[in-house]
Amino acid sequence: LVPSSRAVPIRGRAGARVAPRASAAGNRPNASEELTASDEDGVVVEGVVLEDANAKDGHGQHIGHHHHLDDPARVSREEHSPVDEEEEKAFRRQVATAFDAVARDADFQEDLRRRSAESSASSTTTTREGAGGGDDAAAESPGTTRPITSPTPPPTRAELWRRAIKLPMYSVALAPLAVAGALCHHWYGCVNVPQWGALATGACLVIAWLNLSNDAWDAATGVDDSKPESVVRLLGGDESEDARKAAVNKVHAVALGCLALGVGGLCYAATQLAANATADVVYTVLAMLGAAVACGHMYQGPPFRLSYKGLGEPLCFAAFGPLATGAFYLALAGGVPGGSVWMGVPATPTLLQPGVLGAAVLVGITTTAILFTSHFHQEEGDRAAGKKSPVVRLGLRKAIDVLRGGVLFHHFLASFLAFNGWLPFMGAVGVFIAMPLSIGVSSFSARHADAPAELFRTKYGAVRWHVAHAALLALGCWLDPWMVWNWHRVPGLALGAPYV
């Protein structure tokens, strides 16, 4: 570029104006702009070249043709007048000032780094696709750009342990207890809080046993080989075969310890019954809790491994629905001293009291929904491991349709039970208040049916629905005795009796 009286000067930062950088292709609609210089970092400065007044046919001619600043000898001396040395020095200072201003611009530097990272990622993606030889890559035009997504950082070890503990899983132990306690208050007017706490502790320990033993059995069969949050892998089980066996043994030992403590706590709480409760209630409670624990073992443990045969969901429904909820109700109602505060309530509780089995069925359905949705993103893994889960048997889309139909059936069942007197009316109201969460779960799964990798979030939505459903169902059952339709109840002899 030869500075002359007709060239537009390039000024510095203060009041300066530096022409925008050239595009990647270097093509612009305005032909009067010409690429003039570039530094080693790829920073481009454009000068504006005026049209030659002496050009023929009214067409403008460019003064310079991509001449570099450090090679002024290449300028045609036949076309231009001699360059004044002082003017050339001033021009070079202006160019240097422009480059310094651009280099100091933090936004520009950040943009430069981002473009460099995107270019590197794009080249890596192109290389991988080129190696695959797909037709899609060949069909793309040279100017096609692809969206670049920043790689997700790997989870930390603390995050993996948090996932391995699975705190939301313990809601399946507390939900039956919350509903059973509310039903106990509904029929007997109070709850034995120490007994409730003992049952909760024992139930959570049993859930810990289920969690740990499932990880151990899955590690033994190789199902969790690609699962970084497996407890066995976190204990070093992926280092070697001997390390795997050692980690599996450790997990089994801790799991059995949790099981022993949990069963002990449940047996202790089940025997803390009032004097008015009969021995039959104790035996019934112990038998139902034992059956629920047996379902947990048959789900994953040998020689049954019923989850591999597609029977995990029925076992889950039975264990956490009628068995656990019913047993907890019998234990809590039998632990109320002095009988009910209402007339006409049997001193010895039974499962046939209105609302008990109805609420237990509803709790079992929401618990089963968690297990059912947890398979949505694992179809390929389950199929490879020979696990006949519902999503393998039905296919993903049909499994999602089953979920949507199950949500509708759940709310229809709540209405049917309430209007027939088999569920407290306020309990049904609580179920419908939680209904938007259930619709959100089914809608999310339907929207992402073509992206199974995104469906891992479905089980978290099912957990939220399960927790809200249990809390609102329990609250409704708790408040129902104080509603106007129950004002006909006559207080019993136990009303106002001291609680011991």
DSSP string, 123-137: HHHHHHHHHHT-HHH
> Quick one: pLDDT at residue 474?
97
Residues 308-318 have a mean pLDDT of: 92
Cβ contact 2:78 at 8 Å = no
pLDDT of residue 386 exceeding 50? yes
> Quick one: pLDDT at residue 21?
42
Which pLDDT tens digit goes with each residue over 234-245? 877 667 778 778
pLDDT of residue 139 exceeding 50? no
* Both tokens assigned to 172: 């399946």
> Quick one: pLDDT at residue 402?
95
> Quick one: pLDDT at residue 363?
97
pLDDT of residue 208 exceeding 70? yes
Cβ-based neighbours of 394, under 8 Å, separated by 6 or more: 402
* Both tokens assigned to 249: 């043994």
Measured distance CA(184)–CA(337) in Å, rounded: 12
Residues 329-358 have a mean pLDDT of: 86
> Quick one: pLDDT at residue 412?
97
pLDDT cut 70: percent of the chain above it:
67
DSSP 72: G
Residues 88-98 have a mean pLDDT of: 74
Measured distance CA(180)–CA(206) in Å, rounded: 18
* Both tokens assigned to 50: 């005026």
Measured distance CA(45)–CA(37) in Å, rounded: 6
Cβ contact 203:324 at 8 Å = yes
* Both tokens assigned to 406: 């199950």
Amino acid at 129: E
**HSE of 391 in the Cβ direction (CA atoms, 13 Å)?**
23
Most confident of the following: 14-23, 24-33, 337-346, 491-500: 337-346
Most confident of the following: 20-29, 45-54, 149-158: 149-158
> Quick one: pLDDT at residue 378?
82
Averaged pLDDT of the chain: 76
pLDDT of residue 288 exceeding 60? yes
> Quick one: pLDDT at residue 234?
80
Question: Of 7 and 370, which is predicted with more confidence?
Answer: 370
Closest CA to 322 of 187, 209, 176: 176
CA–CA distance from 173 to each of 268, 364, 367 (Å)?
Answer: 17, 11, 10
pLDDT of residue 387 exceeding 50? yes
> Quick one: pLDDT at residue 13?
40
Given pLDDT bands bounded at 50, 70 and 90, which one contains residue 11? Answer: very low
Which pLDDT tens digit goes with each residue over 424-460? 999 999 999 999 999 999 999 999 988 888 888 898 9
> Quick one: pLDDT at residue 182?
95
Which range, of 43-57, 97-111, 224-238, 393-407, averages the lowest pLDDT?
Answer: 43-57
* Both tokens assigned to 374: 């947890």
Measured distance CA(170)–CA(210) in Å, rounded: 10
Question: Of 44 and 322, which is predicted with more confidence?
Answer: 322
- 324-334 vs 171-188: helix crossing angle, rounded to 10: 40
Residues 342-369 have a mean pLDDT of: 91
Given pLDDT bands bounded at 50, 70 and 90, which one contains residue 46? Answer: very low
Cβ contact 474:421 at 8 Å = no
pLDDT of residue 269 exceeding 60? yes
- 279-300 vs 193-221: helix crossing angle, rounded to 10: 20
Amino acid at 206: V
